Amino acid sequence: MKLLMCWALLLAALPADAAPRFEAKLPGGIAMQVAEFPVSSGAAADASVGAISYLRPGKDRPVLFAFNGGPGASSAFLHMGLLGPERAAVPQDPKAVLPAKAPLVANAESLLDVADIVLLDPPGTGFSELKPGTAPDFYRSVSGDADAVSQGALAWLAAHGRMGSPVYILGESYGTIRATAMVEALKKRDPALKLRGVLLLGQALNMIETSQRPGNVVTWPVNLPTLAAVSCWHRGCDPEKAAEAASAFGPAYLGGLYRGRELDATERARLAGQLAALTGLPADGWEARGLKLSKEQYRLELLHGEGRVLARYDARYTGTDPKGDAFTPVSNLFGAALTERFAKLGVPGDYKVLARTEGGWAYGGADSPFADWPFMQVIERAMAADPQFRLFIGTGLYDLTTTVGAADYLVAQTRADPARIVNRRYKAGHMTYSDDVARQTLSADIRAFLQAGAK
CA gap 343, 124 in Å, rounded: 20
Q: Is the dihedral of CA 266, 272, 277, 283 positive or negative?
A: negative
Are the beta carbons of 102 and 90 closer than 8 angstroms? yes
Task: Look at residue 187 in the predicted model and tell me its pLDDT.
Answer: 96
Type of residue at 72: G
Helix (H, G, I), strand (E, B) or coil at 339: helix
* pTM, two decimal places: 0.94
Q: If we measure between CA atoms, which residue out of 214, 173, 212, 223 comes closest to residue 398?
A: 223
State the DSSP H helix or E strand holding residue 455, giving kind and residue range, or none if neither: none
DSSP 392: E
Q: If we measure between CA atoms, which residue out of 224, 432, 399 comes closest to residue 313?
A: 399
Q: DSSP for 6-41, please give it.
A: HHHHHHHHS-GGG--SEEEEETTTEEEEEEEEEEES
Q: Distance between the two ends of the chain, CA-based, in angstroms?
A: 31
Helix (H, G, I), strand (E, B) or coil at 429: coil
Type of residue at 23: E
Q: If we measure between CA atoms, which residue out of 250, 249, 247, 268 comes closest to residue 259?
A: 268
Task: Look at residue 15 in the predicted model and tell me its pLDDT.
Answer: 52
pLDDT tens column, 178-194: 999 999 999 999 999 99
Task: Look at residue 2 in the predicted model and tell me its pLDDT.
Answer: 38
Q: For each of the chain's 455 residues, which pLDDT tens digit applies?
A: 333 334 333 433 445 456 789 999 999 999 999 999 999 998 789 999 999 999 999 878 999 999 999 999 999 999 999 999 999 999 999 999 999 999 999 999 999 999 999 999 999 999 999 999 888 889 999 999 999 999 999 999 999 999 999 999 999 999 999 999 999 999 999 999 999 999 999 999 998 788 887 788 999 999 999 999 999 999 999 999 999 999 999 999 999 999 999 999 999 999 999 999 999 999 999 999 999 999 999 999 999 999 999 999 999 999 999 999 999 999 999 999 999 999 999 999 999 999 987 778 888 766 666 677 789 999 999 999 999 999 999 999 999 999 999 999 999 999 999 999 999 999 999 999 999 999 999 999 999 999 998 77
CA gap 333, 335 in Å, rounded: 6
